[in-house]
Amino acid sequence: MSSPELVPGLAGIPAAESSVSFIDGQAGVLEYRGYPIEELSAHSTYEEVAWLLLYGELPTAEELKAFTADLERLRVLPEALVSMVKAFPRTGHPMQALQASLAGLGMVAPKVDLKDAASRDEATRRVIAATPVLVALFERVRAGKEYVAPREGLGTAANFLWCLDGEEPDEVAAKTLDCALVLHAEHTMNASTFACRVVASTENDPYTSCSGAVGALFGPLHGGANERVLNQLGTIGDLSNVEAWFEGKSERKEKVMGFGHRVYKTKDPRAKNLQLLANEMFGKLGSTPKYDIALKLEQVVTEKLGSRGIYPNVDFFSGLVYEKLGLATDVFTPIFAMARVAGYCAHWSEQMLDNKLFRPGQIYKGKRQRAYVSIDKR
Tell whether residue 255 is a contact of ligand SDX (CB under 6 A): yes
- Is 222 in the active site? no
- Is 113 in the active site? no
For residue 312, the SS3 value is: strand
Tell whether residue 247 is a contact of ligand SDX (CB under 6 A): no
Tell whether residue 312 is a contact of ligand SDX (CB under 6 A): no
Distance separating alpha carbons of residues 124 and 199, to the nearest angstrom = 15
- Taken in order 66, 68, 73, 78, is the CA torsion positive or negative? positive
Taking the complex as a whole, how short is the minimal distance between the CB of residue 143 and ligand SDX, in angstroms?
28
Tell whether residue 120 is a contact of ligand SDX (CB under 6 A): no
Please say whether the beta carbons of 295 and 239 come within 8 A.
Answer: no
Please say whether the beta carbons of 273 and 314 come within 8 A.
Answer: no
Taking the complex as a whole, how short is the minimal distance between the CB of residue 294 and ligand SDX, in angstroms?
13
Tell whether residue 256 is a contact of ligand SDX (CB under 6 A): yes
Using CB positions, name the residue nearest to ligand SDX.
260
Distance separating alpha carbons of residues 38 and 329, to the nearest angstrom = 26
Chosen residue from 21, 41, 99, 190 binding ligand SDX by CB under 6 A? 190
Cβ proximity to ligand SDX: between 74 and 341 the closer is 341
- Taken in order 229, 171, 187, 218, is the CA torsion positive or negative? positive
Tell whether residue 338 is a contact of ligand SDX (CB under 6 A): no
Query: Could you give the count of Cα atoms lying within 13 Å of 181 in the half-sphere of its Cβ?
Result: 29
Cβ proximity to ligand SDX: between 169 and 224 the closer is 224
Distance separating alpha carbons of residues 22 and 16, to the nearest angstrom = 13
Q: For ligand SDX, which stretch binds (CB under 6 A), given 90-98, 152-160, 275-283, 306-314?
A: 306-314
Taking the complex as a whole, how short is the minimal distance between the CB of residue 274 and ligand SDX, in angstroms?
12
Chosen residue from 49, 198, 236, 314 binding ligand SDX by CB under 6 A? 314
Taking the complex as a whole, how short is the minimal distance between the CB of residue 307 and ligand SDX, in angstroms?
11
Please say whether the beta carbons of 140 and 164 come within 8 A.
Answer: yes
Chosen residue from 93, 151, 175, 222 binding ligand SDX by CB under 6 A? 222
Among residues 205, 261, 268, 347, the one annotated as catalytic is: 261
Among residues 178, 205, 268, 315, the one annotated as catalytic is: 315
Residues in Cβ contact with 234 at an 8 Å cutoff, skipping those fewer than 6 apart: 290
The CA distances from residue 70 to 109, 163, 364, in Å, are: 15, 18, 49
Taking the complex as a whole, how short is the minimal distance between the CB of residue 257 and ligand SDX, in angstroms?
5
Residues in region 170-189 near ligand SDX by CB under 6 A:
187
Q: For ligand SDX, which stretch binds (CB under 6 A), given 116-124, 166-174, 203-211, 258-266?
A: 258-266
Chosen residue from 262, 265, 272, 304 binding ligand SDX by CB under 6 A? 262
Distance separating alpha carbons of residues 294 and 284, to the nearest angstrom = 19
Number of residues binding to ligand SDX, judged by CB under 6 A: 20
Phi, psi (5° rounding) for residue 163? -70, -25
Distance separating alpha carbons of residues 334 and 81, to the nearest angstrom = 18
Taking the complex as a whole, how short is the minimal distance between the CB of residue 48 and ligand SDX, in angstroms?
19
Residue of 12, 14, 18 lying closest to 263 (CA atoms): 12
What is the identity of the amino acid at 102?
L
For residue 30, the SS3 value is: strand
Tell whether residue 227 is a contact of ligand SDX (CB under 6 A): no
For residue 168, the SS3 value is: coil
Please identify every residue annotated as catalytic: 261, 315
Contacting positions for ligand SDX (CB under 6 A): 9, 187, 190, 221-223, 225, 255-262, 308, 310, 313-315
